[in-house]
Structure formats: C-alpha cells, structure tokens
Amino acid sequence: MKLMIEHSDAVQYVSEATEDGKKNHYISGIFMQSELKNKNGRIYPKQVVENQVREYQKLIEQKRAVSELGHPPTPAINLDKVSHLITEMKMDGNNVYGRARILNTPMGKIAQNLLDEGVQLGVSSRGVGTLRESNGQQFVNPDFRLTAVDIVFDPSAPDAFVNGIMESKEYLLENGVYVERLKQQVESFTKVQLDEGAILNLFKNFMNTLK
C-alpha cells in the first residue's frame, strides 16, 4: 500500500464565540473529490470515497479525527504535530465537504496565527492504498484508507519533492500499525552497501518487527 497525498482547494476560516466568551476557530471547505483526475493523475471512484467518509465518522464521533499542519512522511498521526480536529465530513455530490476546529496546540497556534494574518491555507488528504490502471488512467482501489486531512500551504500546486518521497514508500498494516515494507529498506542500500552483513541486519530488524 502506498502513501497518497492529495491536494484540495483553499479552505474558509471563521471564528465563533462560545457561551463563556472564548472563541473557537474553524476551517471548512472541500476536503476530497471523487470521479475527478487530480493533480497526481489519480481518480478516486465515488464509492471508494463514500466508504471512507462513512468509516471516518467513527473517529469524528470519538473525537479522534485529528490531523496535522503539513505532511509527515508516514500515514501515522504524530501527536506533537496535531493542529486541528475534524468535526464534520460529508458527501455532497462528488465532493467531500469538511469542517475542522483549530486546536490550542503548538501547531494549531501556528495555523491560527497564519490564518489570522490573512494567509490563505488549504487542506490535503492523506491515506494509504493501491492503484489499478484502466484505459491509461490510474484508479484508487477499494483498499484505500483515509488517515488524515492535513493543513498545507499551497494546495493549488504539487510539491514534487514531498510527493516523490511519499510515493517511494510502501506500508503494511500490522496489528493496527503501519509498518514500512522491508523491500523499501533493501532498495535504499547501494550495491556496495548491500553485502552479506547488511542483508543479515535487515533480516534481523524485520524479524524484530514481527514480535
């Protein structure tokens, strides 16, 4: 399964006063789109997206639907990078509209300050899954799993360096945890480094992940 980063449109930013006089800050807008070829050349079938929106409701209800400021190099959530809590996600036609509350975390404060200063931010979905090709088009398979909708700086343009890193990584889901495949570790060695000792160490590390 490959880590997939998808860019959406810029989001709207609003502040709402609570009963005790405090303010909550929210972003809202299109979080994902289906049946449309995205900037990475992929198409998400509507049924795949609908299934993930339905599954994601469990995290929303449990108040565990957190995401980050910027994109990390893995599908896992890094609690020290969390910036917002998604409070709503629903299908409207082929689009997924979402709403998220900016949290009072270090990354949340950075996002809030940028938005307060008028910086236009956007969102990008993050997930893992496989692809299939049909008639020259790449379609996301039903095994796709949405893990986050992150806040990013420039959703209107692809980040070739980050996408290049993400696309090179593959993960396996083991005991509820995404683990990078041993294959990727082997491929990262040069021919000079890939001696008998290196292979033995890789095998030992792989066996340790299975314990």
What is the helix (H) or strand (E) element at residue 204, kind and residue range?
A: helix 196-209
Query: Measured in whole angstroms, how far is the alpha carbon of residue 169 from the centre of its chain?
Result: 14
Residue 89 has pLDDT above 50, yes or no: yes
Give the position of tokens 């996002």.
111
Residue 84 has pLDDT above 90, yes or no: yes
Task: Give domain limits for the chain.
Answer: 2-157
Residue 90 has pLDDT above 80, yes or no: yes
- pLDDT, one tens digit per residue, over 93-132 is 999 999 999 999 999 999 999 998 988 888 888 899 999 9
pLDDT for res 39: 75
Q: Which residues are catalytic?
A: 71, 124
**Edge-to-edge strands of the sheet including 145-152?**
2-10, 122-129, 145-152
pTM of the model: 0.73
- pLDDT, one tens digit per residue, over 157-184 is 333 222 223 344 566 666 766 666 654 4
Residue type, 80: D
| Average per-residue pLDDT for the chain | 79
- pLDDT, one tens digit per residue, over 24-83 is 999 998 888 899 887 778 899 999 999 999 999 999 999 999 999 998 888 899 999 999
Contact (CB, 8 A) for 140 and 125: no
